[in-house]
Amino acid sequence: MAKDMGISTRQLRGRRFRRVMHGVFIDHRVPDSLPVRTRSALLVSPGGGTASHLTAACLWAANAQRTGHIHLSYRQFGSSTRHEIKIHRFTYPLDTSSRHGIQVTSPGMTFMHLAVVLDLVQLTAFGDMLVKRKVITPDELIGYALAWSHHGAHLGSLAASYVRGRVDSVPESNLRMLLVLAGLPEPTVNFPILRPNGEERYRLDLAYPEIMLAIEYDGRWHDDPEQAAKDEVRRSWLRRQGWTVIVVKASDLYENADLTVERIAAELSARGILLGPRRHDYQRYFGPVLASEDDPFWGPSQA
């Protein structure tokens, strides 16, 4: 292509261009991005490829699970020897959409493909992010999952039933799933606190509004002194209005899940909420379990 455009090999290897992958170059002013890498992979792969799996997930929701490969899917045929590219072949038609000008598997199909890659909590969080991006609704996702007749149907349907609207972040999804999988009542997501004129004043990550109990997740950016001061003003106001605010940090969610569950259960019981038997399903996904380097999602990205 470069030769046809009158660009010499020497020019390609000069300062005007940078290499995206072996044999593929781009103007040096174009920043590195997943769409750029995906287009590059499609250029050096058999025609008819569709971005799929974790690549499609990141194209639909930028904060989805990451991978070192570009995942491309084909209807029956397609292969590549490049280490950067992971090829998937299917006997059934691919449900495709366009994202950033790239042919990708639709949000619903991407979700169901990942049902054989992600666990229940990860898949639910991804579904929440798809809904946040407004590329699919919870009802549409449930319908897609129930109609799915291929691998991942059971987990996909279960995860889709837990997907909610108004979720702002993956940790918020995970915190909600911790409580649900422990057998506690499901909290309301991003409950709005309104001003007298009806405008939204604050939004609570998770809440049991009937007993005025709020649960908020504080990520690392809340450690910033300026943000911490804003948080304290906000929470002091809420407490004056009668709210109890429980703050959950990353270590509470991912390392000390048992203590977090008991802490929140105690607050619910103290306010007259009758709790059923405690479930321990959450311990498969939360708690002091050492990750394996063989796990494709090993590392800090879990939090």
pLDDT value at residue 258: 96
State whether 195 and 246 are in the same domain. Answer: yes
pLDDT in tens, 188-222: 999 999 999 999 999 999 999 999 999 999 987 77
* First-to-final CA distance of the chain: 43
Model confidence at 80: pLDDT above 90 = no
State whether 211 and 271 are in the same domain. Answer: yes
State whether 253 and 280 are in the same domain. Answer: yes
| Assigned domain for 24 exists | no
How far apart are alpha carbons 275 and 296 in whole angstroms?
36
Model confidence at 303: pLDDT above 70 = no
Residue type (1 letter), 93: P
State whether 174 and 298 are in the same domain. Answer: yes
How far apart are alpha carbons 299 and 121 in whole angstroms?
16
Number of other residues whose CB lies within 10 A of the CB of residue 92: 10
Q: Which of 162, 195, 214 is the last residue of a domain?
A: 162
State whether 128 and 62 are in the same domain. Answer: yes
State whether 58 and 112 are in the same domain. Answer: yes
Give the CATH number of the domain where residue 207 resides: 3.40.960.10
Structural domain count of the chain: 2
pLDDT value at residue 289: 56
Q: What is the mean pLDDT of residues 133-155?
A: 97
Contacts of 288 (CB under 8 A, 6+ apart): 255, 256
| Assigned domain for 63 exists | yes
Q: Which of 98, 127, 162 is the last residue of a domain?
A: 162
How far apart are alpha carbons 231 and 23 in whole angstroms?
50
Confidence bin at 297 (pLDDT 50/70/90): very low
State whether 158 and 174 are in the same domain. Answer: no
How far apart are alpha carbons 182 and 260 in whole angstroms?
10
| Assigned domain for 22 exists | no
| Assigned domain for 266 exists | yes
Residue 284 structure tokens: 């498969």
| Assigned domain for 11 exists | no
How far apart are alpha carbons 276 and 60 in whole angstroms?
38
- Do strands 85-90 and 70-75 pair parallel, antiparallel, or not at all (unpaired)? parallel
Q: What is the mean pLDDT of residues 73-93?
A: 90
State whether 185 and 297 are in the same domain. Answer: yes
Is 94 within 8 Å of 105 (Cβ atoms)? yes
Is the CA virtual torsion 26, 31, 37, 39 positive or negative?
Answer: negative
Confidence bin at 292 (pLDDT 50/70/90): very low
Q: Which of 118, 142, 162 is the last residue of a domain?
A: 162
Contacts of 83 (CB under 8 A, 6+ apart): none
State whether 127 and 245 are in the same domain. Answer: no
pLDDT in tens, 13-60: 899 999 999 999 999 999 999 999 999 999 999 999 999 999 999 999
Residue 174: give the domain boundaries. 170-302
Alpha-carbon Rg for the chain in angstroms: 23
How far apart are alpha carbons 199 and 22 in whole angstroms?
54
| Assigned domain for 174 exists | yes
pLDDT in tens, 110-125: 999 999 999 999 999 9
pLDDT in tens, 243-274: 999 999 999 999 999 999 999 999 999 999 99
State whether 193 and 88 are in the same domain. Answer: no
| Assigned domain for 131 exists | yes
How far apart are alpha carbons 167 and 240 in whole angstroms?
26
State whether 259 and 152 are in the same domain. Answer: no
Average pLDDT of the chain? 91
State whether 85 and 186 are in the same domain. Answer: no
